[in-house]
């Protein structure tokens, strides 16, 4: 406050805004601190006589105007509510937004710790210089938090690959399918209700005005995402119309385009498989032969005509795909088309599941099975190649820790599922141990798992997008704290909208459950696995279940309704979405976990609505 009084003596009392529109840049660096939100520098800055909030640039060691120029560390904005004394100094009678609280990138502190802090205010109106505010050069950058330890090796999965000549063998076994069918016949059970929903969905799909033989072979990844993999629109900022999608997939005039062909095929095959395994036909329910025939028709359309280049060959690496904006212009980032392997992976796990179920009921001829095997082998080669390309590029990026996310875990889920479908031990085990030569996987499962899920008394990864604001709802596109809790998932930093902060981690956790089912059938103990930091799938489910218990499924997290959850500060303003499905299977796989079983009924009710309520891979993996 003494400093503000002195500023008023130098610059005088406030005058009318109309008389003073281009005063000097003033302000003060009040402090630097390190707390649950990480390191941040705070104070106030303004251009005297202006109501607008100004930008502030934080430099290390020297001013931007010194002979030896300082290093720009981070940019922020003085747009937080201030006290009356600041308004007086700024000659502002109406703005009241001149305080700053700028997060400092944790990764930068390792190189700038101990150096002095200079904060420059950036003018609104020309005619005066940008200037270092008072207090610059008197404080130093703090020490970074302790780094996360990196072990020389990571614990391998317990178990050994168990070959199987019998389909289905990827995400579900013949015995599991028979058990699901029996539970579907139990009147009033959750399984009976879900089977009724699946039967009703199948009946409607069989009657839909769709061109089931349509497929796409261009380079545009959004069309694959919508047409093959089922991503609700708009997908990554683009939104192809139904007419555009139908034309791209060469659909018949007067029909609607097929959205999520692979998912549709998997659901149809699941319905047919359940009826063949003993689930009783419901009144008006479709014949399983009809559902199986349509599933086969869809899969063979894409296997025979989809994903081809101009010469009719399967598309391979990242360069053979494109991301087009709404004008048709290619979008290229530091990762190329960015989500090539992600897009293919999201669909191929369902086409694998569909083929596996069809083969399990004898619905494919030898020729049809061979065509689908070839298709999935080529898809596996493309995903494998793009995955390795993206790992190499990501390692060179300043936010390299973002590689440990739902995209990479999706890549590995698809590679494992294809290898299991083909009963290819070499392909399968290379995902688990990194492989060698042509089979090498550059981000193998144990390494990814250890960086994807945090353990007890863990430290956060450093090289992720830094916070743009100290408050969670204001920090875009990312927000994370300087602490982590056991079970948190690294995708946690995403914060472009309220659905991402929990939704993205839940996508990663769901992929881990899909892998858990697959790995268990292949002879490995995924559900008993503990990473190098003691983390597990159960631990991750428990962590996010806390928000479901306190805030509620699909509800907004607040400081009041989540304060008992570890690191709750990070999730304020975000939606508890995607947690329901993971709690349902968590209660099924960890029946002794009372924290999960207590939420089971509410989780089932929440998971039973919405576009993903009939998720075919995890269908039936619940308690009745």
Evaluate whether 32 touches 138 at the Cβ level (below 8 Å).
no
Q: With a cut of 90, say whether residue 281 has pLDDT above it.
A: yes
What letter would DSSP give residue 563?
A: T
Say what the pLDDT of residue 593 is.
98
Evaluate whether 553 touches 579 at the Cβ level (below 8 Å).
yes
> What whole-number distance in Å separates Cα of residue 161 and Cα of residue 145?
41
Of 55-69, 263-277, 564-578, the range with the lowest mean pLDDT is 55-69
Euclidean distance between the first and the last CA atom of the chain, given in angstroms as a whole number: 65
Say what the pLDDT of residue 19 is.
40
Say what the pLDDT of residue 110 is.
86
Say what the pLDDT of residue 251 is.
92
Q: With a cut of 70, say whether residue 77 has pLDDT above it.
A: yes
Say what the pLDDT of residue 277 is.
98
Say what the pLDDT of residue 237 is.
65
Mean pLDDT, all residues of the chain: 92
Give residue-wise pLDDT tens across range 300-336.
999 999 999 999 999 988 888 887 766 667 666 655 5
Strand partners, 324: 330
Q: With a cut of 50, say whether residue 18 has pLDDT above it.
A: no
Query: Which of the four pLDDT bands, split at 50, 70 and 90, describes residue 433?
Result: very high
Q: Compute the average pLDDT of residues 472-477.
A: 92
Q: How far is CA 327 from CA 226, 323, 528, in A?
A: 18, 11, 49
What is the Cα 235 distance to its own chain's centre?
A: 14
Say what the pLDDT of residue 336 is.
57
- Which single residue is written with the structure tokens 């569909």? 354
Query: Hey, CA dihedral for 298, 303, 304, 310, is it positive or negative?
Result: positive
Q: With a cut of 80, say whether residue 38 has pLDDT above it.
A: yes
Q: What is the pTM of this model?
A: 0.92
Say what the pLDDT of residue 11 is.
46
3-class SS at 521?
helix
> What whole-number distance in Å separates Cα of residue 167 and Cα of residue 299?
17
Q: With a cut of 80, say whether residue 12 has pLDDT above it.
A: no
3-class SS at 225?
helix
Evaluate whether 471 touches 488 at the Cβ level (below 8 Å).
no
3-class SS at 280?
coil
Of 122-131, 249-258, 270-279, 325-334, the range with the lowest mean pLDDT is 325-334
Say what the pLDDT of residue 10 is.
43
Give residue-wise pLDDT tens across range 481-536.
999 999 999 999 999 999 999 999 999 999 999 999 999 999 999 999 999 999 99
Give residue-wise pLDDT tens across range 365-399.
999 999 999 999 999 999 999 999 999 988 888 89
Q: With a cut of 70, say whether residue 164 has pLDDT above it.
A: yes
Alpha helices in 61-214 (DSSP H): 84-90, 106-112, 174-184, 190-207
Q: Long-range contact list for 361-370, CB < 8 A, 24+ apart? A: 361/272, 361/273, 361/276, 361/288, 361/292, 363/269, 363/272, 363/292, 363/293, 363/295, 363/296, 364/296, 368/296, 368/300
Say what the pLDDT of residue 330 is.
67
Percent of the residues in the chain that have a pLDDT greater than 70, as a whole number: 94
Query: Which of the four pLDDT bands, split at 50, 70 and 90, describes residue 340?
Result: confident
Give residue-wise pLDDT tens across range 178-187.
999 999 999 9
Q: Compute the average pLDDT of residues 99-125.
A: 93
Tally Cβ neighbours within 10 Å of residue 450: 21
> What whole-number distance in Å separates Cα of residue 519 and Cα of residue 521?
5
Q: Compute the average pLDDT of residues 332-353.
A: 80
Tally Cβ neighbours within 10 Å of residue 204: 10
Domains of the chain, by residue range, sit at 2-132, 164-422, 453-624
Query: Which of the four pLDDT bands, split at 50, 70 and 90, describes residue 63?
Result: confident
């Amino acid at each position: 406050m003494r400093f503000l009084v002195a500023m008023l003596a130098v610059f005088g009392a406030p005058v009318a805004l109309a008389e003073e529109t281009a005063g000097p840049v003033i302000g003060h660096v009040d402090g630097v601190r390190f707390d649950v939100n990480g390191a941040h520098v705070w104070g106030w800055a303004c251009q005297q006589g202006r109501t607008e909030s100004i930008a502030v640039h934080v430099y290390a060691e020297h001013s931007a105007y010194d002979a030896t120029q300082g290093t720009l560390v981070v940019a922020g904005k003085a747009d937080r509510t201030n006290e009356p004394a600041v308004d007086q100094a700024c000659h502002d009678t109406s703005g009241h937004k001149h305080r700053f609280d700028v997060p400092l990138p944790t990764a930068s502190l390792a190189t700038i710790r101990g150096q002095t802090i200079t904060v420059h205010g950036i003018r609104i109106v020309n005619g005066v210089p940008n200037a270092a505010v008072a207090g610059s050069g008197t404080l130093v950058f703090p020490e970074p938090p302790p780094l996360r330890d990196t072990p020389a090796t990571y614990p391998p999965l317990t178990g050994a690959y168990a070959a199987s000549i019998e389909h289905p063998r990827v995400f579900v076994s013949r015995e599991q399918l028979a058990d699901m069918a029996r539970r579907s016949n139990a009147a009033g059970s959750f399984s009976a209700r879900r089977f009724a929903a699946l039967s009703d969905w199948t009946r409607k799909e069989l009657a839909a005005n769709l061109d089931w033989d349509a497929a796409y072979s261009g380079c545009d990844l959004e069309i694959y995402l919508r047409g093959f993999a089922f991503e609700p629109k708009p997908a990554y900022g683009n939104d192809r119309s139904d007419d555009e999608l139908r034309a791209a997939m060469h659909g018949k005039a007067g029909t609607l385009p097929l959205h999520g062909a692979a998912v549709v095929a998997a659901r149809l095959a699941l319905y047919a498989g359940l009826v063949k395994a003993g689930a009783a036909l419901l009144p008006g329910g479709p014949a399983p032969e009809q559902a199986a025939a349509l599933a086969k028709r869809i899969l063979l359309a894409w296997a025979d005509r989809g994903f081809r280049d101009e010469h009719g060959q399967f598309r391979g690496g990242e360069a053979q795909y494109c991301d087009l904006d709404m004008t048709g212009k290619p979008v290229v980032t530091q990762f190329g088309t960015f989500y090539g392997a992600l897009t293919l992976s999201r669909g191929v796990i369902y086409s694998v599941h569909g083929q596996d179920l069809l083969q399990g009921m004898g619905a494919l001829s030898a020729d049809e099975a061979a065509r689908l095997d070839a298709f999935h082998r080529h898809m596996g080669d493309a995903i494998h190649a793009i995955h390795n390309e993206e790992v190499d590029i990501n390692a060179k990026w300043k936010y390299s820790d973002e590689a440990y996310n739902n995209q990479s875990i999706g890549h590995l889920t698809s590679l494992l599922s294809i290898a299991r479908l083909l009963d290819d031990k070499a392909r399968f085990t290379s995902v688990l141990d990194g492989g060698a030569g042509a089979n090498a996987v550059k981000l193998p499962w144990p390494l990814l798992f250890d960086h994807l899920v945090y353990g007890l008394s863990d430290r956060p990864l450093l090289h992720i997008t830094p916070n743009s604001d100290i408050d969670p709802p204001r920090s875009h596109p990312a927000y994370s704290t300087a602490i982590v809790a056991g079970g948190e998932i690294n995708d946690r930093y995403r914060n472009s909208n309220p659905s991402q902060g929990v939704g993205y981690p839940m996508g990663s956790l769901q992929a881990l459950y899909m892998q858990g089912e697959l790995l268990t059938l292949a002879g490995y103990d995924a559900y008993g696995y503990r990473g190098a930091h003691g983390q597990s799938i159960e631990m991750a489910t428990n962590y996010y279940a806390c928000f479901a218990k306190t805030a509620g499924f699909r509800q907004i997290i607040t400081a009041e309704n989540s304060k008992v959850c570890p690191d709750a500060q990070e999730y304020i303003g975000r939606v508890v979405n995607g947690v329901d499905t993971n709690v349902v299977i968590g209660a099924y796989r960890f029946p002794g976990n009372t924290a999960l079983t207590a939420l089971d009924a509410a989780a089932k009710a929440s998971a039973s609505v919405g576009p993903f309520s009939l998720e075919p891979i995890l269908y039936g993996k619940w308690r009745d």
